[in-house]
Chains A and B, each alone.
Chain A
Amino acid sequence: MAGRQITYLTDAQMITCIVQASQADKVVKAAQDVGAQGATITYARGTGVRERMGLLGVAIDEQKEMIRIIVSQEQADRVFEAMYLAGDLDKPGMGIMFMNDLDRIATYIPDEVLNDAKQTKPTRKASSKSKTTKKAGAKK
């Protein structure tokens, strides 16, 4: 396919957050309020703390919502924290979250955003911390 070019974005991280069903929307909202682009949410079933609470376990929804949000390194901690607070993860049985480094991501990026962004080194392990690259498309 000639003429087509893939733009890789580096310095990305993925936050995964697992909460009880129907809690995801408010967690995602909190993440978006501090600059996250959006989220993909799946339903999942989880066990763990639920089974260890006896009959009280029925109060913890077996069905979970699993939120995956891809963020830039710069905003990662901010978003992580906002999600933690919004999901009340400091209460028992409310959920768990974690963060992974991503090598790179690819998606459609509007041309005007691309032109603004300074190209980082073509190597995959780009160490440059160009803010503009990370913020590619951060405007909503």
Chain B
Amino acid sequence: MLRYSSVLRSNALRHREISYNQLTPKPDADNPEALKPQKLKLGVRRVMEILMPYSGVRVFEQMRAVVPLAIYLVLFQLIILRQPIDSILLLVGGLTAVIVGLALFMEGLNVGLMPFGTLIGDKLPRKASMPVMLIIIAMLGVGVTFAEPAIGALQAFGASVDVARAPYLYEILNNWTMPLVLLVGAGVGAAAVLGTLRFVYGWSLKPMIYAAVLPTLALTLVVYANPDLRAILGLAWDCGAVTTGPVTVPLVLSLGIGIANSAGKGDSSLSGFGVVTLASLFPILAVLGLSLFVSTQMSAEEIVVAAAAASANVSDAPVGLWEQSPLQEIALGVRAIAPLVLFLMFVLFVVLREGLANKLFTGYGLVLSIVGMCVFNVGLTYGLGAIGAQTGTVLPAAFMAIDLSAVSPIYSAMLGLTLVILFAWFMGFGATLAEPALNALGLTVQNLTNGAFKKSMLMYSVAIGVACGIALGIAKILFEIDLATLLIPLYLFALLLTFFSTEEFVNVAWDSAGVTTGPVTVPLVLAMGLGLGNAVGAVEGFGILSMASIGPIIAVLSMGLIIRFRQSRGAPATTQTKGG
């Protein structure tokens, strides 16, 4: 019989039928290998046909994230701030490096690092006893903190603190560095252990969030009540934000997913989440605790006296963030990944006695992620970071007179301040979209929900959250608002939203807080915070990052609630459609 559709089709598309029998290998008595798969021979054109979309799609994806941000920064500086751009060629080269590096790194994560993490997470509960597993996880948590480059950035920042106005902050950053980093590491380790227990026993994340946030807020209040300690709050909350970077997050997520797959009892498809948010909250508790301890050890006056005595030695300023050679950037990139990979390989090969499923591909992925990280770091320094620093330093010219700009103040105070805050909003938005850890989180969420929760949806809502957070953070510095008066109500609001949200959105929202502040955002924000902080004479420029963490929590939770609200209202209208 001839169907109508066949007639229709024959007009549309030429087609032929071949029996599949003709194409499959046949047994051959002379050649025992005949049935085995043969290596494919592809012509140059075919190879290009495969490689072009492969690399094109990945590079284009990063271009879409980075180029608008760069264009925005350049235009803002040229048109609004009326400042020429320095060394354009270097900037363009740097930006290209950022794009290529990000594309390489993300592909490396996808092919190498994340399958590697999932494999270990999958094998760990089967092969190792619970205590061994928890010890390995705790070691990993402490290890990743040391590897995180942003921790170093915080320390460098500490040198600029004014002793007289924030004695304890100065004391902790300059004389208690080791305990500080250790405590942050211990916080991350504890978070990893608790998170693992959660996967294994299928606990809901909500009570754990209440249990972690409420004491942190209480301690924040205690510290806030002591005027000498008050300045610590920014550091403590920012420490939480920086612990979770582009290498840590994908690794922790993929490990968690592996464990949740093989040992988990959770119902939700997203039950492998939660470690990242705990890893952001526990270090805050640790640092606040340390500051209270230090305050019982010595008084503010003693610190000021000691600092004055030591100031002769620290007069030579630390190496500027932008004046390092590319070699150092490469070393940083290797340092961030190589030790972790080595440790995980040790766990996989020695402790678990397992092999890799596909050495070629995993090796390719691991090499790609290291190379990508290095290229990205170099590009960041000479491209995005450089232009961010340029814009950051001349930004105060918008509303006040500074030496750098001949025409400052360019605008009236009111308009200038508004412009600065708007600038911060858009920069936060753009920088977040380029953040590799957020990319990885989005990808993981998309995979776990079988594509139902789109990566782009998560990234845009997180970016809006970060943008609002950073704008608020800048406002905090400009108008000298106390951090606690912003943080406490915002976190309480987030807890309220959490109470009403579904487990899926709670998991993703709280984890997205930790991933937003990575290698793209941190230098840009710090440059801007420093520039503005110095210009308006603020005590310290900390606190912006912590605002950038709470922003996305509220944004993602709100998005979940809005979707639910809209759907429950709109449902009766769509009954016409039938599934198929």
Contacts and interface: CB of A to CB of B under 8 A. Distances in A.
Q: State yes or no: do A and B come from one complex.
A: yes
Interface of A: 24-25, 36-38, 41-43, 49, 51-60, 62-63, 65, 69-71, 73-78, 81, 85, 91-93, 107-110, 113, 136-137, 139-140
B6 A77 contact: yes
B454 to A, nearest CB: 9
Query: 10 shortest A-B CB distances, which residue pairs?
Result: A37-B580, A137-B578, A59-B54, A52-B40, A77-B5, A59-B50, A70-B580, A77-B9, A43-B450, A38-B580
B451 A59 contact: no
Nearest to B575: A110
Given A65-B451, A74-B3, 20 more contacts: A37-B577, A37-B579, A38-B579, A41-B450, A52-B40, A53-B40, A53-B42, A55-B360, A55-B364, A56-B51, A59-B51, A62-B361, A77-B3, A78-B9, A81-B13, A92-B46, A92-B49, A107-B579, A113-B578, A140-B577
Size class of B's contact patch?
A: 20 to 34
B569 interface: no
B111 interface: yes
Contacts of B361: 57-58, 62
Contacts of B111: 58
11 contacts: A38-B579, A53-B39, A56-B47, A58-B364, A73-B3, A107-B580, A109-B578, A113-B578, A137-B577, A137-B580, A140-B577
Name, among B13, B49, B51, B578, the residue most crowded by chain A CB atoms within 10 Å (CB to CB): B578
B275 to A, nearest CB: 23
Nearest to A131: B4
A53 B5 CA distance: 38
Contact of A37 (B6, B9, B578): B578
Interface string B1-28: 0011110110011000000000000000
Nearest to B15: A81
A60 B40 CA distance: 14
A70 B9 CA distance: 19
A101 B40 CA distance: 33
Contact of B578 (A41, A55, A59, A108): A108
Contacts of A81: 9, 12-13
Given A56-B47, A74-B5, A92-B49, A69 B54 contact: no
Given A54-B39, A107-B579, A78 B5 contact: yes
B576 interface: yes
A113 B38 CA distance: 53
Name, among B3, B5, B54, the residue most crowded by chain A CB atoms within 10 Å (CB to CB): B5
B318 interface: no
B50 A43 contact: no
Nearest to A73: B3
Given A63-B447, A81-B9, A136 B578 contact: yes
Nearest to A69: B580
B7 to A, nearest CB: 10
Nearest to B47: A56
Interface in B333-369: 360-361, 364-365
Interface in B543-580: 575-580
